[in-house]
Amino acid sequence: MDRFYSMIALVYFVAATVVLLALAFLLLAIAVKVAVDTLWGGDLVGSALSSISLLVIGFAVVETAKFIAEEEILRKRELRSSRESRRSITKFITIIVIAASLEALVMVFQATREGIQYAIYPASLFVAAMVALIALGVYQWLSSRIEHNGNTSDHGNDGDPDS
């Protein structure tokens, strides 16, 4: 049964990775179309910002697909240590922080064009990204302190006496 589950999970992860990459390329194509359409007239800056926003979202989707591929398809093994787990969580949260920060930056530029009252959401998004970054730093610091104090082991059992 374990082998069956592993095979189903692998198929799902491969399919999810392929679909995410296809959607990211769709976002890329839409961003290019928006940019090209505005060359024939329209709001150049607004369209450029919209295209950048689509590209940022596409970047986050590609990075998420890459994360899934690296962690679930290519490695084909469970996390074996607290260090490995910390590295994996760091990668994923970093993707989120970068994407949210870039999107907030694009939205700030859009808000400055439309009116300062529209800057609340981008500012909130940027604050949320920074809180996530700080939380990641606290998590890293706390987990490394636990590791250095000898409460966990990176040699296979993560400090679990039942392993």
Compute CA distances 135 → 16, 24, 125, 128, whole Å.
28, 28, 15, 10
- Dump the DSSP string for 34-97: HHHHHHTSS-HHHHHHHHHHHHHHHHHHHHHHHHHIIIIIIS-S---SHHHHHHHHHHHHHHHH
Supply the pLDDT for residue 77. 57
Supply the pLDDT for residue 76. 62
- Burial of 96 by CB count in 10 Å (0-12 exposed, 13-18 middle, 19+ buried)? middle
For 130, the 3-state DSSP assignment is helix
Report d(CA 22, CA 47) in Å as an integer. 23
Report d(CA 91, CA 45) in Å as an integer. 33
User: By the 8 A CB rule, do 88 and 79 touch?
Assistant: yes
Supply the pLDDT for residue 162. 41
Give the CA angle between residues 134, 93, 60 to the nearest 5°.
130
Supply the pLDDT for residue 89. 85
User: How many beta carbons lie within 10 A of that of residue 2, not counting itself?
Assistant: 6
| pLDDT per residue of the chain (163 residues) written in tens, 0 to 9 | 888 988 898 899 999 999 999 999 999 999 999 888 887 777 788 888 888 889 989 988 998 899 888 888 887 655 566 777 788 888 889 988 998 998 898 888 888 888 888 889 999 999 999 999 999 999 988 888 876 676 544 444 444 444 3
Supply the pLDDT for residue 155. 46
Supply the pLDDT for residue 68. 87
Nearest to 27 by CA among 63, 1, 3, 73: 63
